[in-house]
Chain A
Amino acid sequence: MKKLIAARETWLGLAIIAMIVATDFRSSGFGSPGNLASIFNNSAMLIILALGQMMVILTRSIDLSMASNLALSGMIVALTNAAFPWIPVPVLMVMATGCGLILGAFNGVLVWRLGIPAIVVTLGTLTIFRGLIFVIAGGQWVNADAMSEDFVQYTRIEFLGLPMLSWYAIVIVAALYVLMTRTSTGRAIYASGVNPTASVYAGIDVGMTKFIAFCLSGALSGFCGYLWVSRYVIGSVGVAQGYELTVVAACVIGGISIAGGVGTVAGAVLGALFLGVINSALPVINISPFWQMAISGAAIILAVILNGRSEGGRAKVILKQAEVTS
């Protein structure tokens, strides 16, 4: 119980509930189950992406190419669907995930084998992937009329009252929860972020672990590529532009330390939901959508300050700090 009170996830969850209740006062119906389900559905992709980013950040790296990866994988399946409408959608989902995996593996190899800092690698691939979309699509858009009925419907079909999009997110959250807390891969991801040197002595291949994290974040981005194109029924060069930083923001709000090693699946999910609730609440309480950016910016700054507060005590131990920087 004490642990539960101390956990920042609890506080973040309470903040989200408080926000929902407050908005519900202004406009009743905001807190209704139907509306909450639609908020969750709107946040589903951000949740999936934040989980991918979380694994990378845990290993002391960062993946800035996620949004470009998403857009490229999405464009590839959209074009495939437009050209060969008979290919069943599950095959396309696997294809999108595979594309994302390959792109993520490319990031991972550069970080693992060449030891280039992740921020540099993914800064480069961020622009490369985005440019490739233009090249493969020849600057064209893929519109709704080019997509098959199934392609569009596979995120919309309802099952037990929730659209499939939400179910994909739920399944992925559950799978990653098991991965992060019940498998040695999950432990390795945490360990290589907490203390890379000690991890090596413990027999963990830190580089390889980073590679795996990049592959996973790539695969999740690729899968979201299909989801995005199907949900918004548009494949274009501009898909999810700038979204990589929203994903990082969700992680930061969720209490995932950019220094690596600290963060949970629940935190990432709540961080994404926090942004999702803000985005849904603003129009309801008659705040112009133009305020959205500044408010999420302020939320990030606030979250970082609160994170810093809880970690502040540790950073003052000089010897420990010297050990980390050496």
Chain B
Amino acid sequence: MSEEARTTRSIPDRLDGRLKSAVLSWPSLLLAVAVGVFILNSFASPYFLSAWSLSDATFNFTEKALIALAMALLIISGEIDLSVAAIIALASTMMGLALQFGVDTPGLVLIGIGTGLLCGMFNGALVTGLGLPSIVVTIGTMSFFRGISFIVLGDQAFKGYPADFAFFGQGYVWWVISFEFTFFLFCAVLFYFLLHRTTFGRQIFVIGNNPTTARFSGVRVERVKFILFCLTGLMSGLAAVALTSRLASTRPSIAMGWELEVVTIVVLGGVSILGGAGSIQGVVIAAFIMGMVTFGLGLLNVPGIVMSIFIGALLIAVIALPILFRMIRERRA
């Protein structure tokens, strides 16, 4: 998208030291922002610094963050999935439908995850099998998946989930540590190893940087991308289980607009929207920042819609400022 920007890249005559590059890396920068937001929040509201408040704050973003982990991999590989929120709606609807037939909790969870996986496979098949651009395919499936929810539910809602189903979204593992949050941390570690410590992870970066080279190097580009779409669908299914359990109801408008928030987390986390660069650490910290900003503003009685201004501005500022600084530095040099 920005070929012009790349043509004027200067080549450094030596690499930065390891410490310097670690300090100046995107995740460190984000961490500084996160700490800043944390401190600001604790000054701004006396209620922020309590174990239960902080625990509540995690509920704000864990479901989105779960999807963001998989979305990061997908975006690094040069694709995108805008249907994730619609997958949540469809998976949640299928769970509610199964509930009407008396399916018990393990069955519900399986159906939720399975629906997510199937949706992911559908996206993956269209994108990799037919070679279509993922952004338009998933805009289509976004309407399609949520549309099915609307057909099934209309203006109704599914309620009456079993009591033990509530654990996934409302249960606590230990003291204030919720199951959902623990599960997110577990997934984050898993995705960290998958992306940064395995051959598969390296292949994702190669594909994102240059799919043609990747293909000539023997990477099965289509298969890797297909797996990533399935993974994104799967994580959306998991998020659907958590969210449905937390809300204890299903409406077709569930998780409306989340796709853009998930992409915001991923991009804020330093993943290049053009593909080929990014890290799980960054995405995890970005999720925390998003969660804390919204929760902190919520404590200050700032309406949700005004918060979105901060999130949008954060997204643009975090990306624009480094570019601006670099431009100013280059002008001086």
**Once the chains bind, are A130 and B305 in contact (CB under 8 Å)?**
yes
Instruction: Report the separation of the CA atoms of residues A10 and B143 in the bound assembly, to the nearest whole angstrom.
Output: 26
Q: Which residue of A lies closest to B263 (CB)?
A: A123
Nearest B residue (CB) for A196:
B3
* Least CB separation from A302: chain B residue: B140
**Chain B contacts for A160, CB-based, 8 A:** none
Task: Given A131-B306, A293-B147, A308-B130, answer yes or no on A120-B140 (Cβ-Cβ < 8 Å).
Answer: no
Q: Are B212 and A288 in touch, CB under 8 angstroms?
A: no
Query: When each residue 190-214 of chain A gets 1 if its CB lies under 8 Å from chain B and 0 otherwise, what string results?
Result: 0000001100100000110000000
A1 within 8 A of B: no
Q: Is the CB of B260 within 8 A of A301?
A: no
User: How distant is the Cα of A318 from the Cα of B273 in the complex, in angstroms?
Assistant: 24
Which residues of B from 213 to 254 have beta carbons under 8 Å from A?
252
Kindly list chain B residues whose C-beta atoms are within 8 Å of the C-beta of A300. Answer: 136, 139-140, 143-144
Among A117, A127, A325, the residue within 8 A (CB) of B210 is A325
Closest to B326 in A: A114
Contacts known (A115-B323, A120-B315, A301-B137); A131 close to B305, Cβ less than 8 A: yes
B212 touches A237 (CB 8 A): no
Instruction: Answer yes or no: A88 CB below 8 A from chain B CBs.
Output: no
CB atoms of A248 and B212 under 8 A apart: no
Q: Is the CB of B135 within 8 A of A60?
A: no
Q: Within the complex, which residue of A124, A242, A305 is in contact with B126, where a contact is CB–CB below 8 Å?
A: A305
Given A135-B306, A288-B154, A297-B144, do A128 and B323 touch, yes or no (CB 8 Å)?
no
Say yes or no: is B29 at the interface (Cβ < 8 Å to chain A).
no
In the complex, which residues of chain B have a beta carbon less than 8 angstroms from the beta carbon of A61?
Answer: 1
Whether A123 pairs with B260 at a CB distance below 8 angstroms is yes
Q: Does A86 contact B (CB under 8 A)?
A: no
Residues of A within 8 A of B252 (CB): 290
- Knowing A196-B3, A294-B150, A318-B212, say if A117 contacts B305 (CB, 8 Å): no
B64 at interface (Cβ–Cβ under 8 A)?
Answer: no
Closest A residue to B150 by beta carbon equals A290
| Complex Cα–Cα for A11 and B1 (A) | 31
A258 touches B150 (CB 8 A): no
**Does the CB pair A321–B316 fall under 8 Å?**
no
Q: State whether A125 touches B312 (Cβ < 8 A).
A: yes
* Interface secondary structure of B, over-half rule: helix
Q: Are B142 and A245 in contact (CB under 8 A)?
A: yes
A interface residue count range (under 10 / 10 to 19 / 20 to 34 / 35 or more):
35 or more
Nearest chain A residue, comparing its CB with the CB of B154: A290
User: B147's contact among A252, A291, A315, by CB below 8 Å, is which?
Assistant: A291
Determine whether B257 belongs to the interface, using a CB cutoff of 8 Å to chain A.
yes
Rounded to whole angstroms, the CA-CA distance of A295 and B150 in the bound complex is: 11
B188 in the interface, Cβ–Cβ < 8 Å? no
A115-B323, A120-B319, A206-B4 as given contacts; A294 in contact with B312, CB under 8 Å: no
Do residues B151 and A294 form an inter-chain contact, with CB atoms below 8 A? yes
Interface residue A139 (Cβ < 8 Å from any Cβ of B) = yes
Is A258 touching B135 in the complex (CB atoms < 8 A)? yes
B131 CB → nearest A CB, Å: 6
**B274 is an interface residue with CB less than 8 A from chain A:** yes
Q: Which of B4, B142, B150, B210 has the most CB of A within 10 A?
A: B4
Considering the complex, which residues of chain B in the window 287-315 have a beta carbon less than 8 Å from any beta carbon of chain A? 303, 305-309, 311-313, 315
Whether a CB of chain B sits under 8 angstroms from the CB of A90 is: no
From B152, which residue of chain A is reached at the shortest CB distance? A290
Residue of A nearest to B324 (CB): A114
B330 to chain A, nearest CB (A): 13
Please give the distance in Å from A295's CB to the nearest CB on chain B. Answer: 7
Are B140 and A304 within 8 A (Cβ)? yes
Given contacts A120-B315, A123-B315, A124-B316, contact A297 B309 (CB under 8 A): no
Question: At the interface, yes or no: B24 with Cβ under 8 Å from chain A?
Answer: no
Known A-B contacts A293-B150, A295-B147, A304-B133; the reply to A110 vs B305 at CB < 8 A is: no
Is B50 among interface residues, defined by CB-CB distance under 8 A?
Answer: no
Give A250 Cβ to nearest chain B Cβ, in Å. 11
Assess whether B333 is interfacial by the CB under 8 Å rule.
no
Q: A134-B306, A293-B143 are in contact. List 12 more A-B contacts (CB 8 A).
A: A116-B319, A117-B1, A120-B267, A123-B263, A123-B312, A124-B313, A131-B306, A196-B3, A252-B140, A290-B151, A293-B150, A318-B212
Q: List 30 A-B contacts (CB under 8 A).
A: A62-B135, A64-B260, A110-B316, A114-B323, A117-B273, A117-B274, A118-B1, A120-B267, A123-B260, A124-B316, A127-B308, A127-B312, A128-B309, A134-B305, A197-B3, A200-B4, A242-B256, A252-B139, A288-B154, A290-B153, A290-B252, A297-B146, A297-B147, A298-B140, A298-B144, A304-B132, A304-B136, A312-B131, A322-B212, A325-B210
